[in-house]
Structure 1
Amino acid sequence: MVQKNIKIGRKEFDYNLPNNPDINRFIIKVHNETANQRSYYFFTKTEEWILMANDEDCVFMTIYGTRDNGEVLSKDFYNKPTSGEIQKQSSRPYQSMCSMSLNTINCEVKERVPLPNVSHPVFILKGSQEGGTNFYVQILKHENTEFIQLSTSVNNEIKDSTIELQSRRNYTCKLYKVDKRDEQYVVTADNSYLSLKTRNCQRDVEKLKEKAKSYIQGHSVYSVNYLYRNKPSCHPTILQSKKTGIIAKYLKDNNGDQYSSINNNICGLHFSATPANSSGDLPMSSYFGDYRIMIFPEYLVDGCHLYFADFFCMSRIHWVTLVLTKAGSKEDDFCQNRLVKLDIENNPFFYKVGASYKVTSLDVEILYTEDINLNEMRLKMGFQEKTTPTCGKGRSTPGGRPKNTSCSSCNLPHY
């Protein structure tokens, strides 16, 4: 057993290093009730482990062994009983830090996806921040997995984290602002616990795409004469378009897979590519509203990238969601690392054959991530606006409808 000597002022004790080759870093968290403070220390195996003298009378400490990315692989507890000697405990001692008076950090946490299938947490700080380098300790937990990492803020963001998040998980997040004093990082502020739901990664979306491909095997193919969109004539975007001539895109709701990365993250306008029959005739009525616009597909497709985003059902009917983004737009940047890019001439859902377009006979919706300029569209050949009868509620469900999680055809495993 390899031991590491830990010095705290005039005291010292030996710590048995964990026999785990994946542990490269160590974090010591000290609760010092005498000084009424909490501190963190960050060490490697080879460094001297010297704690500040003012922590000599600490009540207890926790020593974490972590990977380079902050994942906690070992955790040991020590305290100083009445004998005055620091001793290892078999379980976490009682923490009495209620008297600590900390400032509050106002922030939110989001998922950053710099590469396909790679994501990290990013904390976004609200309000004015102190100049210079500000240090923070971020803690993320999911079930039995815990991460602890020291980070710095730049332009109100803490985005230097190397914590690798798993997709389709719910993390609990805590952030401490710390004041660096030599090797000691003293906690001065914290936030309320935050929740971070990670979304489908590109690998997950690929699996959904394969499920959709299996589901549509043997389905008929329909001609697509128009991409069409129905909304109630009293919908805010329609009322506003009467003044501006623009149907403005808006934030995608929660319709579909509960872990879809585009939900509440990108803006767009939904169009349907699915006609009523193989000839391409459109449905006579709509569940989504009485005001319909009909646009030749090429008017929206040209100059855009096509992505597969989702496969879901509400009960019996299955839907595929595709996304059309203008090349180089912020929505295109968002989708590149999260969704699966499709070839407009070689995919099984919505594709081009010569000068015409085809769609497989299931409900295919397309999120077009640009505004629609009605003044320009009205000058184009084939563009139509009309009033259609409605059926059902005659509008979409506010906020969207989550998918049926019991369907084996369109669900991924739940973690």
Structure 2
Amino acid sequence: MVEVQKSLYIGSTEIKITYNLFQINRIICAVENTENNETGFYFLNCTDSWHVDQNQQPPNTELRITIYGLRINEPKVILSNTIIINSPLHHMRLESHNKHGRFPSDRFTFLVATNGMNCSADQRVNEMTNKSSIIFKCEDVQLPINTEYHYIQIIQTTSSTNDVSSYNEYIELTTTYTNEIPCVNLPSREAVNYKIYKVSLSGNQYYVTKTSKKSQFITHNSKYDVHQFHDMALLFISGSGTMKIPYLYRNKPSYHPTIQEVIKTGVMTKYDKDNNGDQASSINHNIKGLFFSASMDKDTRQPQTSSFFGDYRILIPPEHLIPGLNLYFADFYCNHKAHYVTLVLTKPGSVEDVYCKVRLIKLDINDNKFLFHDQGFYYTTSDRKLWVEVLYTEDVHVDDMLSDGKLLKEITPTKGMGQSKLDGIPKNKSCKTCNLPKRPYSVNNSRYFNIFNTLLDYSSLY
């Protein structure tokens, strides 16, 4: 390892910076006036002299300096550090993220511009290429056309579903003509912490004019990830038999909004899929539907006599729901006890069908192991350890189906609380049967991962 020391001059202040010669060849310097929160970014090459014009600052102004070390044309931060300067001479060593105890998200405590902006992340899949991308949408005032806008994104990520010890950080300057900002390329299944800064160029400084709030999301499972879950679920039930499905059935408490709506209108309306299941599932809060169980009591071959999910039950023979719909495999997970498979039924060409087609695995209704049709009947696996749940993505016209004899409804006993948990239950991340292999990270030190979980509190995402 060859270390060098180079001076960064901020006005009349000198900072002697030590770093590894062969790791980085450019730096991004963020300078914040801690008194008025004015902040600017400077982009510097390692071969140049490092001068930042801050002569306009009053004497003895306290500045907070963050240095990011990167490679040319790469947004991933390799080395970094932050210091407060209030004297003429300082020293700073740029370090990799896992070589110091300070958690890097404290960098999000600076750069608080007077004018805020709302910013959300939109995860997309190109229908032609099947390539995934993430777009930050800054919901700002109407922007004039044919005008350049500059944004800086700062992103920190770690695995959302595996107990790993490392994190990555990215910083990128993006020029656009709209309020849509392409995110840096991120892996699937990552917990993401981000802020977006609208900046304006003046001389060699990009000064912050607007700042988004710190926000979080999880990058969705890729289609390859879903294929892996599908293969794991097949392995889980290998060697099992099949059983006939007399009904697809659904339980909710009598006071549940969908049941109250049925009483008033005769229609059970689909609603947002919750966060139950894998934390990175792309269908969580992105499609609407109504869950039905396809699994029967393994002894009676009929629906369970009682339910954990409520006392109001509707039962529909599968031949009245499934024909003409597309069937997708979405998820394989457990909640510490039973394992579940999530399937999705969509009307061809519907909003949900278009969404699922590029993200999930389409199953042949006549040839799959979870829900299939054969000689006029529908079947599912008889494996006692797996429950097959079906998300039906259309409204159910209960009164019409009752009058036609296509639906039954009844009151059933309840188990436990007799209702599902608000917004679902996240997947058991420690299960070796239904979790994907851990993605390799460079350093194995659980202390940093624990700090990450404590400070970011990603439980709010689940």
Q: TM-score, normalised by structure 2?
A: 0.72
Deviations 1:13-34 (A, max 9, x none): xx999546xx7x8453252759
Larger mean Cα displacement after TM superposition, 95-104 or 288-297: 95-104
Q: Deviations over 1:76-103 (max 9, x none)?
A: 899999779xx984248xx999998722
Shift of 1:350: 0.8
The CA distance in 2 between the partners of 1:236 and 1:198, in whole Å, is 31
Tell me, yes or no, if the aligned pair for 2:320 and 2:406 is still in contact at 8 Å. no
2:410 to 382, 387, 399: 387
Give unpaired runs (5+ residues) of structure 2.
96-105, 158-165, 440-462
Q: Deviations over 1:310-345 (max 9, x none)?
A: 122234322111111222222223323332222222
CA distance in 2, matches of 1:383, 1:32: 67
Task: Say whether 1:134 aligns with 2:149.
Answer: yes
How far off is 1:120 after superposition? 4.2
Instruction: Please state whether the residue corresponding to 1:105 is helix, strand or coil.
Output: strand
Q: What CA distance in whole angstroms lies between the structure 1 residues aligned with 2:401 and 2:140?
A: 43
| Residue number among 116, 130, 137 corresponding to 1:105 in the alignment | 116
Mapping for residues 13-412 of structure 1, pairs under 5 Å: 19=22, 26=26, 28-31=28-31, 37-42=38-43, 62=67, 64-66=69-71, 68=73, 70-74=75-79, 89-91=92-94, 102-110=113-121, 112-115=123-126, 119-126=132-139, 128-131=141-144, 132-142=147-157, 143-152=166-175, 157-161=179-183, 163-181=184-202, 184-277=205-298, 281-361=302-382, 362-378=386-402, 380=404, 382-392=405-415, 393-412=417-436
Look up the equivalent residue of 1:409 and give its one-letter code. T
Segment drifting more, 128-137 vs 243-252:
128-137
Give, in angstroms, the shift of residue 367 of structure 1: 0.5
Q: Please give the per-residue CA displacement for 1:367-386, whole angstroms capped at 9, x wherever unaligned.
A: 11121123443454x41222
SS, match of residue 227 in structure 2: helix
AA partner of residue 349 (structure 1): F
Three-state SS of the structure 1 residue aligned to 2:221 is: coil
1:213 aligns to what SS in structure 2?
helix
Matched residue type, 1:102: A
Could you say what secondary structure the match of 1:195 adopts? strand
Deviation at 1:253, TM superposition (A): 1.8
Separation in 2 of the partners of 1:286 and 1:391?
Answer: 5
> In terms of mean alpha carbon deviation, does 335-344 or 348-357 score higher?
335-344
Whole-angstrom CA distance in 1 between matches of 2:36 and 2:433: 59
1:328–1:97 distance in 2 versus 1, CA, 3 Å: closer
- How far residue 183 of structure 1 moved from its aligned partner, in angstroms, is 5.0
CA contact (8 A) 1:201 1:338 kept: yes
Q: TM-score, normalised by structure 1?
A: 0.79
Give the 3 Å change call, closer, same or farther, for CA 165–100 of structure 1 in structure 2.
Answer: closer
**Residues 39, 185 of structure 1: 8 Å contact kept:** yes
Equivalent position SS for 1:387: strand
1:75, distance to aligned residue in structure 2 (A): 5.1
Q: Which runs of 5+ in 1 are unaligned?
A: none
Give the direction of change, closer, same or farther, for the CA distance of 1:99–1:273 in structure 2 (3 Å limit): closer
